[in-house]
Amino acid sequence: MTDLTPADDAFADRLRTRLPDAAFRDLTPGYLEEPRGLFQGGEGLLVAPGTTDEVAEVVRACAEARVGIVPYGGGTGLVGGQIMEDGPRPVILSLERLTRVRGVYPAENVAIVEAGVILADLQAAALAEDRLFPLSLASEGSARVGGVLSTNAGGVNVLRYGNTRELCLGLEAVLPDGSIWHGLKRLRKDNTGYDLRGLMIGAEGTLGIITAATMRLFPRPARTGTALFAVESPAAALDLLALAGARIGQGISAFELMSGEGPRFLFETDCPARCPMDPIPEWSVLIDLGLGAGDDPDEALTGLFEAALEAGLVSDGVIAQSEAQRSALWQMREEIPEANRRIGSVSSHDISLPLSSIPDFLDRARQAVAKVGDFRINAFGHLGDGNLHYNIFPAAGVARAEVMDRRAEVAEAVYDLVAGMEGSFSAEHGVGRLKVGDLERYGDPAKLAAMRAIKTALDPKGIMNPGVMLRDR
């Protein structure tokens, strides 16, 4: 980063000669904030190219002058990948004008969209052709396709449909030398060289800028069903997942675990959603089914509940009988992050573990955190994927400021345990600028060396999203 040149007025003037005026926008404060407020400030020259060729022009200009580029999608990332707080003033390259849906091919279950398309708009474009684009996450109303690709976003439907990487068949991208890779093929199979697609996905903008993508669509499930089951324990939740898999197979679209703190936090913070069970169960599971026209989701969920009751896995259950009830159940799940935000976490962890280790992890993590101090833990997440959002809060009545000095200690306790149990310190949020040190600490040394070699090979000037994923050296 120290070698980079600031995007100063002279650079901006030169860039203006190479791009239409519409590409230049005012840098409002929103571009320098992120959802959790962990990163803010810095500066930048905001550029919003309208075409792939314009993106390439920006990258070439930056490569020539050795100016850093911070790619900017919807600004919803949780690890600071979109905010460069210090270092020479970068170009902030926003995708906001690359919003064309280039084509929807329902017969092929494929859509080609530009990187600035908002996730919810891609979902709507699929729906308009009676297809499903299954990626679904809390920030889908703001997150852009380029961002979800660059972070390999997850969400609630990974269990059935895979992460973003599995949903992408091809990419168009501008590489760090300004060349354009035209890889937007609509092919399910194409073994003609290294998997540059997979490499660019999840690279968090450090290897180039994704400008468009060929995304997979799916037939819409004809019938859907949603239920909330109170389970005896996380181990019972895992057994319920296995039971559901044996009975319903690939029809399970989501399988979300919630601890009792989630619904209690909703109440405490005046979030509108409420748990329909009284008392609030210490552990519950939200299940979503998507079935064929000949199947009855209500029957499937009732049958599952009865079998689970007989096996001693569940103690209570609510099966949605209307779209309104279905929404209410999901609203409860979806408002938990907002409730967490209102309470204010000491430390938040997006972790994954081998599926069968999760009950043991929850026990051991609770003990490890208790050793550091008196905290409340809200554990919830995508149990079907082994992915927990493990968030730690001050004890009731304790102000956040009073315990924030324990943050590093808490985080270390959690991550050391995760690493010892062969888990991951970042399941779906990525590394960004927040977890660079964690990657160095917990990452495999041979993999890290390979990553550095790849980064240097593809971006020798180090202009692409400096400081993200790998430390500047």
CB of 317 to its own copies, least distance (A): 20
Q: Of 28, 192, 278, 401, which lies in the binding site for its own copies, with binding defined by CB under 8 A?
A: 192
| Complete DSSP assignment for 396-429 | TT--HHHHGGGHHHHHHHHHHHHHHTT-BS-SSS
Nearest by Cα to 342 from 41, 81, 33, 37? 37
Q: Is 190 in the site for its own copies (CB under 8 A)?
A: yes
Please count the other Cβ atoms lying within 10 Å of the Cβ belonging to residue 58. Answer: 24
Does position 249 interact with its own copies (CB under 8 A)? The reply is: yes
443 binds its own copies (CB under 8 A): yes
> 360-389 mask for its own copies (x: CB under 8 A)?
----------------------x-xxxx--
473 binds its own copies (CB under 8 A): no
**45: contact with its own copies by CB under 8 A:** no
Q: CB of residue 29 vs its own copies: minimum separation in angstroms?
A: 28
**DSSP assignment letter at 55:** H
Q: How far apart are CA 135 and CA 163, in angstroms?
A: 8
Q: Closest separation between CB of residue 427 and its own copies, Å?
A: 4
Write the CA distances from 470 to 66, 319, 462, integer angstroms. 18, 46, 10
Window of 9-17, 32-40, 86-94, 104-112 that interacts with its own copies by CB under 8 A: 104-112
Q: Cβ of residue 132: shortest distance to its own copies, in angstroms?
A: 11
Residue 242 near its own copies by CB under 8 A: yes
Question: How far apart are the C-alpha atoms of 359 and 357, rounded to whole Å?
Answer: 6
CA distances 346 to 105, 247, 358, 374, 432, Å, are: 46, 40, 22, 11, 19
d(CA 26, CA 237): 50
Is residue 416 a contact residue for its own copies (CB under 8 A)? no
**What φ, ψ does residue 305 adopt, rounded to 5°?**
-60, -45
Q: Is there a contact between 315 and 268 (Cβ–Cβ < 8 Å)?
A: no
Q: Tell the residue number behind the tokens 């315990």, with chain if given.
A: 403
Identity of the residue, 140 or 239, whose beta carbon is nearer to its own copies in the bound complex: 239
User: Shortest gap between Cβ of 356 and its own copies (angstroms)?
Assistant: 5
Q: How far apart are CA 237 and CA 284, in angstroms?
A: 8
- Binders of its own copies among residues 211 to 240 (CB under 8 A) are 219, 221, 238
- If the CB atoms of residues 30 and 249 are measured against its own copies, the closer one turns out to be 249
Q: How far is the CB of 25 from its own copies (least distance, A)?
A: 28
Shorter beta-carbon distance to its own copies: residue 198 or 373? 198
The distance of closest approach from Cβ of residue 240 to its own copies in the complex, given in angstroms and rounded to an integer, is: 12
144-163 positions binding its own copies, by CB under 8 A: 151-152, 154, 158-159, 162-163
Residue closer to its own copies by CB (options 20, 354) is 354
